Structure 1
């Protein structure tokens, strides 16, 4: 059976064994690109964004890269969003429980364990800012199997969207400069997250943040210029009507030098006055408030919240919980979309090349743990366990991240289970006698015959109950589910030996009857 990709295109094995999207010294896949952010104006930014939608995204992708390098806040929140996914646990689920499906899943697990896999995840998430990210799979066939040897991240400027639908990503190449080349099947990992609806190139976070970024860039530039002269006295040089051009030139030079050197030589007829700048409202606060406002808007766009990045008064626990829920939704969506890309562009090629086309494939899962209210769990256990709820200790330890206690370790225990205090001794080592009771002290009644008989029978019942419940406990430990334990218990019910327990209960009932008659006879 011929191997085809998800679009029905046949796989050319020769293409898989060579690198395709390599850089060139000249042409359409050069490494070096000129700066876009330097001297960018709002009008020029609008042109860059318009060109990207029309099919020429080189300037936009360069700007997206420079935005991360020039704006520390944008770089931090974007890295935070990426790390929220790369820090999650990645697992593989078999298609079913058959031996063949388990074998396929174990093969994919070998790839996940590779150091290059984790790096590839980070590079694929570069698509969050730029709208798409591409990794070329370098296949290794030295051991008669197809195994990814490396994942080479390719510059997004080496690719373009088709001119008709603007949705199919193609490789720029001199062979077809206008339309590019179709990406070879089973050769590229292309992640295109759907952050917003519409054309893929419009979905990058860099496009959404670009206008706020350029406003902040202008504010920062003006703020630095303001800070350079803020608080410095204004220097005013005065000259009389008889001053000629040379005198004026000397005075201007002196005023300029006083800004840095603070020293000048003047004719006697000239003077310089220093005037303090009025420290009225506004000033630096205007720039700071504008920059902080823009940073908060960027945080909302990238993270969906501002609680973890921007400080502010009046943020209580309830508000923090709401923001965390929004952040979790974004994290789940990013993880789900990245896992879908991996299953489509990595899992299927690996399985098809090594085991042939399958009806079902193993699935890579990026698991987002559900938050738990551990304080509420403790409160519930405190109320339910005394009522008879049975809870396995290992389950509770796992929820709290507590290890199994070592042998001989000193354990925490409730006060009722603490060891009794040692009996006090006198100077001769003899037990100290309790003080004599006062004549009017309350005298506790002696235990009744029934109480004594009950205690003795309870002691006799302990080994019998233990012998009866031991096989039941063994069946419970060997069962993987409650349904399996129920079936085992029903099958073994007839073989359980309860004669000894029945005999002991008979003795207890007889003893209780006799004790009642005896106490009635005495008139108790």
Structure 2
């Protein structure tokens, strides 16, 4: 068994009692106020009853409110879905640990938290901690274990919110319900997460308080819809009796109408009459109640996810852009949820774990839940190249890490940019050697040598020379454009004259059409025509020459 750590005091003055940390103190039990048996206030719910439940919760009697919140999640599939979506979005985010600093001691603190994260205890408990999103708060009990003088949370168990209540004086200090009354929560024993949908008392901050009214009105619509569907298509049985019928005969008629509905038969006196009236043509719109239910589903989606497009198929005029905007809204909510729950975990788990194992610190490592900011490595690399060319010193290790690439392992050949090899007989880096890459046409041609040192055949040399020398079409283009300035001046002259004589932009605009019509393009047309004819003729000659050589071969 590990040695007992020195007494530690929580920030608010509560001492850490080691024996309490190791055992469960908030488990439900038979005969206790912390029972697993639950009431069902949603049955027979109406506006008056709902108002009473919400007012009682404000006054400190929260049991019926939390029972109603659980029933709403069980009975309304849409609310169950969107609350689960919001919680699972945070559960799916990566979890990182940031050290408080660069000192060996601060790095060791962070490593302790990382080692505990590898056990998966937090991932298993995160969904239960986020139960506060709907109910406003959650309290999960930490059961600590000690091995090799190391204190770590072994289990983080969800506890029924009905087993806790806020102090009735302030409405903020959460206390545990016991048979002897309520008592203050021990230090470092619970993860208490308060997730407010709005500012105010914590008990009024849960989403369920707002969803409850919508659930009530939607439930009315569903009930009416079910009643309508139950009677839709069934004929109405109408019994008629004369003005002098006795009460006994009237009861006989009523019983007969009941039997006609249940058993399809009945007996009535001869003087009475039963009619079957078809009601199909006189019903209310069959989508009336569905529209009402769908309306409330949209309101639920807005309240929980901040939008509707990612949960409900809604046509919009903005195309996919509208869906992207809505998804961004949900992303903002997810990021905010992750920051809030990270703060709770750092306060209730990370700080006591470091205090129990390594003592009190001025600053503590932090757990961070969420995806890191996206980095465009291509832009960073391009910027680094430009800055490096300007003489700015940039760390290579930092750039590699920013690009997300690993460092080479010991003995591994590092990746390098390949460069063209020097020609035989030429010293590496020889400044006098011509750069063939810059001007292939003007570079001197050396005979190609085989790996054994002998010259290659003349055909290979000729092929290499033909690849490096310009062809006839290239030479024709160069000759045609030798006097390009003389060709362009007659075309540009009217524009230059207009710009010199114009006094304003309006003058240029008004005279531009006349200047374009005055441009002399005849010389350029003549040169282009001759060049085109010559290139076509040269191409035909070369093609026939290649074909003739192939035929001779």
TM-score when scaled to structure 2?
0.68
Contact 1:137 1:151 in 2 (8 A): yes
CA distance in 1, matches of 2:403, 2:260: 72
Contact 1:461 1:501 in 2 (8 A): no
Query: Are 2:302 and 1:300 aligned?
Result: yes
Task: Check 1:93–1:370 CA distance in 2 against 1; reply closer, same or farther (3 A cut).
Answer: closer
Contact 1:461 1:504 in 2 (8 A): no
SS at match of 1:65: helix
Residue equivalent to 1:340: 343
CA distance in 1, matches of 2:335, 2:421: 57
* Higher RCO (C-alpha under 8 Å, 6+ residues apart): 1
Contact 1:57 1:160 in 2 (8 A): yes
CA distance in 2, matches of 1:461, 1:207: 81
Note the 1:170-319 alignment, pairs <5 A: 170-175=175-180, 177=181, 180-241=182-243, 243-277=245-279, 279-280=281-282, 282-314=284-316, 316-319=319-322
Task: Check 1:233–1:10 CA distance in 2 against 1; reply closer, same or farther (3 A cut).
Answer: same
Structure 2: tracts of 5 or more residues without a match: 1-5, 390-399, 406-419, 446-478, 483-553
CA distance in 2, matches of 1:147, 1:187: 12
CA drift of 1:154 comes to: 1.1
Residue equivalent to 2:363: 360
SS at match of 1:503: coil
Task: Check 1:504–1:339 CA distance in 2 against 1; reply closer, same or farther (3 A cut).
Answer: same
2:56 to 45, 51, 58: 51
Contact 1:135 1:188 in 2 (8 A): yes
Query: Are 2:114 and 1:112 aligned?
Result: no
Contact 2:232 2:280 in 1 (8 A): no
Equivalent residue pairs, number: 415
Instruction: Supply the RMSD in Å over aligned alpha carbons.
Output: 3.8
Query: Are 2:432 and 1:503 aligned?
Result: yes
Residue equivalent to 1:132: 137
SS at match of 2:281: coil
Contact 1:19 1:138 in 2 (8 A): yes
SS at match of 1:307: coil
Contact 1:296 1:306 in 2 (8 A): yes
Task: Check 1:243–1:91 CA distance in 2 against 1; reply closer, same or farther (3 A cut).
Answer: same
CA distance in 1, matches of 2:184, 2:244: 80
User: Greater Rg, structure 1 or structure 2?
Assistant: 2
Note the 1:160-175 alignment, pairs <5 A: 160-175=165-180
CA distance in 2, matches of 1:92, 1:39: 49
Contact 2:109 2:354 in 1 (8 A): yes
Structure 1: tracts of 5 or more residues without a match: 400-457, 468-499, 516-522
TM-score when scaled to structure 1?
0.71
Task: Check 1:369–1:327 CA distance in 2 against 1; reply closer, same or farther (3 A cut).
Answer: farther
CA distance in 2, matches of 1:141, 1:159: 28
CA distance in 2, matches of 1:94, 1:461: 54
Note the 1:408-487 alignment, pairs <5 A: 460=422
SS at match of 1:83: helix
CA drift of 1:324 comes to: 1.1
CA distance in 2, matches of 1:397, 1:269: 96
CA drift of 1:460 comes to: 3.8
Query: Are 2:19 and 1:26 aligned?
Result: no
CA distance in 2, matches of 1:294, 1:246: 50
CA distance in 2, matches of 1:17, 1:132: 24
